[in-house]
Amino acid sequence: MISTIQLHDPTTSLIVSILAGSLGIDRFIIGDTGLGVGKLLTCGGLGVWAIIDWFMIQGATKEKNMQKLQQFLY
Amino acid sequence: MNSGRNKLYLIILVACFIGYIWLYFNTSVLGPKNNTLNVCLIKHFTNIPCPSCGSTRSVISLVKGNFVQAFKINPLGYIITIIMFLAPLWIIFDFLTKRQTLFSFYKKLELYVQRPRYAVPLIFLVIFNWIWNIAKGL
């Protein structure tokens, strides 16, 4: 079962974040749909959130991966 | 579970607060001088408007009661206005009644939107809006 989990590569989400962070696509990809919509509606949080996410997105991706794994560990 | 709720509510409240300040700044400081502050990264670098460019103008004209003009500038302004108006009230309601109705609604909505049946039409709507924005030259 554990092999069926779809994990995401932090480097991929970083590249997506740099290229299309203002549209929130990086957040959509890792499964944070709500925050992705928030970024999309606000032009990437007035451009500031988009830049902050360049540094945050790798950690967020790892956290999401961990959450998916934890469903199987407990 | 509770920390996830509080984190989401904090994010929403901070975002709404910045939104109110942004609106005030645009109407009171920039508005009278007819200046605009271009913060959109996409428009800054490529000169092409992004899907949500013009939503500040849309929200401002909505607040003034110009519903048709707001729709013509950017229909996304309607969604932003509803969220900015409703979300803080909903959070206050949740805190007073010690429940998490907004958090569970958010989680449910997230799961729904991720389904291709809803995701694909929504993506097309956003792309259509983007094309319209470019055609309007916002």
| Residues B83/B62, Cβ–Cβ less than 8 Å | no
Distance CA B15, CA A45 (A): 8
Choice between B46 and B20, residue whose per-residue pLDDT is larger:
B20
Tokens of A57: 């997105």
Q: Give the pLDDT band of residue B71 (cuts 50, 70, 90).
A: confident
User: What pLDDT does B36 receive?
Assistant: 67
Taking alpha carbons only, the member of A39, A24, A44, A46 closest to residue B39 is A46
Matching residue, tokens 């409703």: B86
ipTM of the complex: 0.74
* CB-based contact A22 B76, cutoff 8 Å: no
Of the given ranges (A19-23, A35-39, B5-9, B31-35), which has the lowest mean pLDDT? Answer: B31-35
Could you say which of A21, A41, A47 has the minimum Cβ distance to residue B80?
A41
Taking alpha carbons only, the member of B74, B44, B69, B32 closest to residue B56 is B74
Distance CA A40, CA B41 (A): 12
User: What pLDDT does B10 receive?
Assistant: 86
User: What pLDDT does B119 receive?
Assistant: 85
Smallest Cα distance from B43 to chain A, Å: 10
CB of A23 within 8 Å of any CB in chain B? yes
Taking alpha carbons only, the member of B87, B9, B132, B54 closest to residue A43 is B54
pLDDT tens-digit profile of A3-62? 777 888 888 888 888 888 888 888 888 888 888 888 888 887 787 888 888 888 888 888
